[in-house]
Chains A and B, each alone.
Chain A
Amino acid sequence: MKPFAYVKAATPDEAVRACAGHPGARYLAGGTNLVDLMKLGVETPEFLVDVSGLQLDVVEELPDGSLTVGATVRNSELAAHPAVIDRYPVLSQALLSGASGQLRNAATTAGNLLQRTRCPYFQDPGKPCNKRLPGSGCPAIDGAHRELAVLGYSAHCVATNPSDMAVALAALDAAVQLHGPEGDRTVPVTEFHRLPGDSPERDTVIRPGELITAVRLPPASPAALSHYRKARERASYAFALVSTATVLEVRNGVVHHAALAFGGLAPRPWRAHAAEEVLLGAPATRETFTAAVDAELAAARPLRDNGFKVTLARNLAVDELTALAARER
């Protein structure tokens, strides 16, 4: 282990100020990913700013029906929050499908958004990885990539984002609230994670020193149904091969609102805009759903060993849309 300095901040401002002078600083909350990566030597921060005491651990229901989730609300708490279970079931389901009970008790909302890929090469400092060591190469393209991306990747990185929660947030049009040295800003979850392009080392659009303070969920349409489904190699405690977060509202047999996001397919939670375009205003039939999902997955470029993900994503999404439409009748 490399020695590091540690400070516990009392307010968001204090945390941001503490971080400001240290390019090698990292915020520490639940530590379920960062500490693992430090043990592996993947992350070697010189300075940790503990943000677990910022009192950002509150879920607030606003008068307009929206929900503000504090950055350090634990995953298990958020999953069990009555407003989440009631209005955003897809989010509760996504959270509960992730990690294990012990990890969910420690992991925070912001930390979940910032967790890093589980690509085996990223996690092994003895091997090249452009995300970990820019310019060193991406062995996954020719190597072990069965669980890696089919969409949105680049010649420099084929890693996937591992979060379940973020997939649900993407489908719910949630936004990330950031507090930084240059003030506050809000970024939609769908734009929060970057595609790798030629700089895969940057997972998100977060700027140096910026701190996630909350995630904002817009009001849920009372008539919309939502569901999360995750396909994986064992029944619990496994990352998604493919997952789907689906929100659907059908009126008079026609799709009135649809939001579809995929996990396990891409470097970020993959909001299926092309599919939604086909869905909107179309009859809520299996034919429509199939055409919509196919429109989205036409862009997929599977690698040697992960072509099954395209089939799996197609099956899952069509099945989920069909099931939600049936429930609406």
Chain B
Amino acid sequence: MSPTPHALGEPVVRHEARLKVTGAARYAAEHTPPGCAYAWPVPAGVARGRVVSVDTADALDIPGVLTVLTPHNAPRLAPADDPVLAVLQDDRVPHRGWYVALVVADTLEAAREGAAAVHLDYDIEAHEVVLDAGHTALYVPEEVNGGFPAVRERGDFRSGFAEAPVRLDASYRVGPLHNHPMEPHACTAEWREGRLRVHYSSQGATLAGQTAAALFGLEPEQVTVVSEHVGGGFGSKGTPRPELVLAVMAARETGRPVKLALPRRQLPAVVGHRAPTLHRVRLGADADASLTAVGHEIATHTSTLKEFVEQAAVPARIMYASPHSSTVHRVAPLDVPSPSWMRAPGEAPGMYALESAMDEVAQLLGVDPIELRLRNEPAEEPDSGRPFSSRHLADCLREGAERFGWERRDPRPGTTREGALLLGTGVAAATYPVYLSPSHAEAHASPEGGYRVRINATDIGTGARTVLAQIAAAALETRVENVEVEIGRSDLPSASLAGGSSGTGSWGWAVHKACEALRARFAELGGRIPAEGVTVTADTEQETRRGSAYSRHAFGAHFAEVQVDTVTGEVRVRRLLGVYAAGRILNSRTARSQFTGGMTMGLGMALTEHSGMDPLFGDFTESDLASYHVPVHADVPAIEVHWIEEEDPHLNPMGSKGIGEIGIVGTAAAVANAVCHATGARIRDLPLTPDKVLARLG
């Protein structure tokens, strides 16, 4: 623990670390109110059509089954802003796995048996689930995820590209991916005297509470959502999901508390996924390695329920200087589950393609890939012309090159061999925008000298409690042990989501402001604290809505060394290095975890993770953790993380940028570039599994 009053940046240990490793921390499905019943959902067994009839007689005959909710008997909800929440509201089946019934029973076992005994008849329609770059359903949407315009044109891309002496025109593919947090999506709902209390595994209890209130026609203060501990979300718990609606509905219908933990195998269809992206990247360059044209076009899918467009061409708008640029997104609504956020939506797949293309252009030009990036550093954000609040990509690349030993690299591909292994190294840049959202916080001082901060922030495993205590301690000029932090409940001052790498900056700003207000109040009181203590509140509605005249992004550089087994096509990563410029790092221990975790997820994206869409059935083939291959320990080498000190006065009072997502951005490109360096084979389709690699080894 920190002996000094100022704890910002120090490696303070997570407050709840002991609770978690001893099993004392309770998650959403580990709360069992007296009389609790259990629910098990029934997924649709067809990919498109209508539910004609639901025969619940056999299910209701099973001892312990209390009720079966179906599209025909479920209570009607108020219209949902998010169509994925309108479960059991009509007979339409928009995709396979969409929930068409819910069995509620005295025990989990009876609910599960009941679900298997529900008989459904469908009016089946032909389904279409396969995306290709020429799909006739593709259209250009107005905007893409994050509110960005779908299309941006600068200069005259067509001529610029046509006239460039060196041109790359390459297509890349990133297949569907799933977040698969360790803790499945889960909810325990209880109605008591007209009030609703929900334990919910969520990245934002404020939004979940507002959503439940709206759907069930309640006043917001009638609903309390508790998200005390969350076992990962990676975006999939950023928006409320059907389990919230179903658990609340079941609790109201049965008059009992109801617990619903979604089975792992059902998750891929109902909690979102990273949509597949088909990329066409065109880069034109002068002989002196200056980019003259940057083109990035995306084709992706969404469901027929809602339009979600992975903003994968957006990073090309800010990365490199070029007089001509064109970035375009197209989307096809298919009979697939609704895609959603997965760690660094847009940046993760977009930077895989762009940074692979940069590597290819470097090869065409015969320049070092780091040198190519340095030569194309923009003076201001290329898309908007706004100045960067801070941009230290070049420093990250240089620092990384030195730490990695880049100058010893033989640029010729396929030249380093160790027996049957080919070795290679690769580099890629990373970027992630700074998002800040309004939040409210309360700060309290007791006459005994202790402080308490209350804010409905969410700790999804990041260490939010801990870093908020540090921010408060720094603002109050006290030791971090003197600050108690209450988070994770919707009856606390409202706060934004743990998403978009925005949590610490957004919540921290409100906490900082409340603590400053508390100190001002002390001054007014002449330092005397009354018996009941002093309590102040603050919010950042104005500050965050004001926006910024600056283009604000974190940057980083990823370096990878891989070995490729020429016998089997197996690729294993030997070393990963990430160097970041992300403003002020507020807790060096938990920040390192965030970067390392992101890089590990990027390694999975590069080599092992894929969710195959089955054209026959319209579902994802890999639906458990045995078949959906997240990297295991044996896949993860020594990961090295560094950051450079970055002062940026245009962010928030702490000077921090978000760090939850940048680790996954560009890692896949660094690995793929290293595979190309090792083998000479450029495989433009992730993940780089042995079948694809073997086919290219000859």
Contacts and interface: CB of A to CB of B under 8 A. Distances in A.
Interface string A297-322: 00000000010100110011001000
B621 A308 contact: no
A235 B633 CA distance: 8
B45 interface: yes
B565 to A, nearest CB: 8
A1 B635 contact: no
Which of B615, B689, B695 counts the most chain A CB atoms within 10 A? Answer: B689
B1 interface: no
Interface residues of A, number: 33
Given A1-B109, A126-B45, A234-B632, A308 B616 contact: no
A235 B614 contact: no
Nearest to B617: A127
A308 B689 CA distance: 11
Nearest to B570: A231
Contacts of B113: 1-3
B626 A311 contact: no
Interface string A225-256: 00000011111111101000000000000000
Interface string B100-124: 0000000001001100100000000
A118 interface: yes
A135 interface: no
B523 interface: no
A236 B635 CA distance: 8
Given A1-B113, A2-B113, A233-B608, A241 B690 contact: yes
B444 interface: no
A2 B45 CA distance: 20
Interface in B557-575: 565, 567-570, 572
A142 interface: yes
A146 interface: yes
A311 B692 CA distance: 12
Interface string B599-616: 000000001100010111
A120 interface: yes
Nearest to B566: A315
Given A41-B116, A144-B614, A233-B629, A319 B608 contact: no
A45 interface: no
Given A118-B627, A120-B621, A146-B691, A319 B570 contact: no
B634 interface: yes
Nearest to B689: A233
A237 B695 CA distance: 24
B317 to A, nearest CB: 34
Contacts of A41: 116
B566 to A, nearest CB: 8
A239 B624 CA distance: 13
A234 B569 contact: no
Contact of A316 (B109, B568, B612, B627): B568
Given A1-B112, A234-B632, A319-B420, A311 B694 contact: yes
Contacts of B634: 234-236
Contacts of B567: 315-316, 319
A129 to B, nearest CB: 12
A281 interface: no
Contacts of B615: 143
B631 interface: yes
Nearest to A40: B265
Interface in B416-463: 420
A134 interface: no
A312 B631 contact: no
B690 A231 contact: yes
Given A139-B616, A236-B633, A308 B568 contact: no
Which of B567, B634, B635, B695 counts the most chain A CB atoms within 10 A? Answer: B567
Given A312-B569, A316-B567, A316-B568, A234 B631 contact: yes
A231 B569 contact: yes
A238 B690 CA distance: 13
Interface of A: 1-3, 40-41, 118, 120, 124-127, 139, 142-144, 146, 231-239, 241, 306, 308, 311-312, 315-316, 319
Considering the complex of A and B, which 4 residue pairs feature the smallest CB-CB distances, nearest first? A235-B634, A308-B691, A231-B568, A236-B634
Given A1-B112, A118-B627, A236-B633, 7 more contacts: A2-B116, A127-B617, A143-B617, A234-B632, A234-B635, A312-B691, A316-B567
15 contacts: A143-B616, A143-B617, A231-B690, A233-B629, A233-B689, A234-B608, A236-B634, A238-B629, A239-B626, A308-B691, A308-B694, A308-B695, A312-B691, A315-B694, A319-B420
